[in-house]
Structure 1
Amino acid sequence: MHLYYEVSGNGKPVVLLHSGGADLRDWTYVVPFLANHYQVVAFDGRGAGNSPSPTEPANYVADLLALLDHLEIGQAAIVGHSMGGRIATDFALEHPDRVSELVVVGPALSGFNFSQEFQEWMQRINAAFPDIDKVIERSFDAPSYRIIKSSPHWELMIDMFRHHLKKTTEWGTFESVWPEPPAIDRLGDMQVRTMLLIGDEELPDNIRTAECFRDIPDFQSITIPGADHMVTLTHPNELCRHMIRFLGG
């Protein structure tokens, strides 16, 4: 196993997938709570943190399966934040027998069509390269980062993002491989109990994405008041309370 991972606690396995532009430090304040109840696995996805950069199109779903096999975990609760939520959802659709429960936090979703406003925002960010300071400024100028920017955890967020930007200079490719058909067309076939958690200060596109998950048969949704997209850093207590209730323990 080439991916970097950390294991904490004992009991039912819970695997945490971080957001894009971050690394396993996305779960810094969540792991200590969950580790009191479960065996918690947090890892750096391919191209993030201490894991190797992709030399060919990354298959994040296959990476997660390989990690579970390496750790000899037959079944685990899978928890994904943002892009990690997209990976977790695709994984649960592809390998439902390996997932006891699915928890997604402000998730992305394969097959979702982003609004023109969102695409223009991403174009402004990409146009700022190679000026890293300008990239950071434009990346976090959305209302969905208002809470984290005024919190004590802002420095950690920026440190993760700077590390991510530096790491991407090592990537051999930015392409990735995803299961077909996309998850958005298969949510009605989800066999895994699913809970979605989202802050009430999210981008309209992220809110619309969350609404798509309502197609899942066994589904519940929780809104965290006063939280933005980085709810993992600013509201770990609330997240863990809901997750522990959902997962049991």
Structure 2
Amino acid sequence: MDLYYEVSGYGKPVVLLHSGGADMRDWTFVAPLLAKHYKTVAFDGRGAGKSPSPMKPANYVEDLLALLDHLAIDQAVLVGHSMGGQIATDFALKYPERVSELVLIAPSLSGFRHSQEFEDWMQKINDAVPDIDKMVELSFDAPSYRIVMSGPHRDLMDQMFRHHLKKTGEWGTFESIWPEPPAAERLKELTVKTLFMIGEEELPDNIRVAECFRRVPHIRFIQMAGADHKVTLTHPDDVYRHITGFLEE
């Protein structure tokens, strides 16, 4: 196993999948809380944190399968944030027998068609390459980061994103492989019991993704007041409380 991971606690396995542009520090405050009751696994996805950079198109779903097999975990709770939620969703569709429950925190979604406004925002960030300061400024100048960037976790956000930007300079490719057909076309087939959390201050596209997930048969929605996209950093106690309540029912 070439991915970097950390395991803490004992009991039912809970695997944490971090957001894009970040690493396992996304779970800095949530993981220790979960580890009081569960075997908690946090890891750096390929190309993030201490894990190796992709030299060929990354397959994040198969990376997760390899991690579970390496740790001899037959079935786990998957908790995915943002892109981590996209990975968790595709994994649960492809390998439902390996997922006991699914927790999604403001996830992205494979096959989702982004708005022109979102595409223009991403293009502005890409056009700023290689000016990292400008890329950071443009990336966090969005309502979905207003709360976290005005609070005590601003420095952690900045450190993670700058590390990510520097690390992408090592990547051999930015291409990735996802199961077909994409999850956006298969949400009605998602049979795993699912909890969906999202902050009330989000990008319109992320709200539209949430609406897509209403097609999932066994799903519960929670909107978190006073939270933005980085609810894992700003509201860890609430995230922990909702997850444990969901799992202990």
Shorter-normalised TM range: over 0.9
Tell me by how many angstroms 1:104 deviates.
Answer: 0.5
Q: What's the offset of the Cα at 1:32?
A: 1.0
Written as runs of structure 1 = structure 2, the 5 A alignment for 1:158-173 is: 158-173=158-173
Question: 2-side partners of 1:5 and 1:217: how far apart?
Answer: 32
Give the equivalent residue in structure 1 for 2:56.
56
Find runs of 4+ consecutive structure 1 residues off by over 2 angstroms: none
After TM superposition, list the pairs within 5 Å mapping 1:1-249 onto structure 2.
1-248=1-248
1:111 alignment partner, SS class: coil
* Separation in structure 2 between the aligned mates of residue 159 and residue 133 of structure 1, nearest angstrom: 12
1:177-207, Cα deviation, whole Å (9 max, x unpaired): 0000000110001110011000000001001
Residue 45 of structure 1: how far off its partner (Å):
0.1
Code of the aligned partner of 2:213: F
Give distance in 2, aligned partners of 1:208 and 1:240: 25
- Code of the aligned partner of 1:100: S
- Structure 2 runs not aligned, ≥5 long: none
The alignment partner of 1:206 has SS state of helix
Aligned-partner Cα distance in 2 for 1:223–1:106:
10
User: 2:119 corresponds to which letter in structure 1?
Assistant: Q
In 2: Cα distance, 1:79 partner to 1:232 partner: 11
- Cα distance in 2 between the residues matched to 1:2 and 1:32: 24
Q: What is the CA–CA distance in structure 1 between the aligned matches of 2:198 and 2:92, rounded to whole Å?
A: 19
Paired residue secondary structure (1:139): helix
CA distance in 1 between partners of 2:221 and 2:36 (Å): 24
In structure 1, the gaps of 5 or more residues are: none
Distance 1:171 1:129 in 2: 15
CA deviation profile, 1:73-106 (whole Å, cap 9, x unmatched):
0000001000000000000000000000000101
Deviations 1:57-86 (A, max 9, x none): 000000000000000000000010000000
CA distance in 2, matches of 1:2, 1:19: 19
Secondary structure at the aligned position of 1:169 is classed as: helix
Per the normalisation by structure 2, the TM-score is 0.99
Equivalent pairs, count: 249
Work out the percentage of aligned pairs sharing the same amino acid: 70
Q: Secondary structure at the match of 2:170?
A: coil
Q: CA deviation at 1:247?
A: 1.1
Q: Secondary structure at the match of 1:120?
A: helix
TM-score for both structures, normalised by structure 1: 0.99
Distance 1:203 1:242 in 2: 22
Aligned AA for 2:206? N
- Whole-angstrom distance in 2 between the partners of 1:33 and 1:164: 26
Q: Residue 70 of structure 1 aligns to which amino acid in structure 2? A: H
Q: In the alignment, residue 63 of structure 1 is paired with which amino acid?
A: D
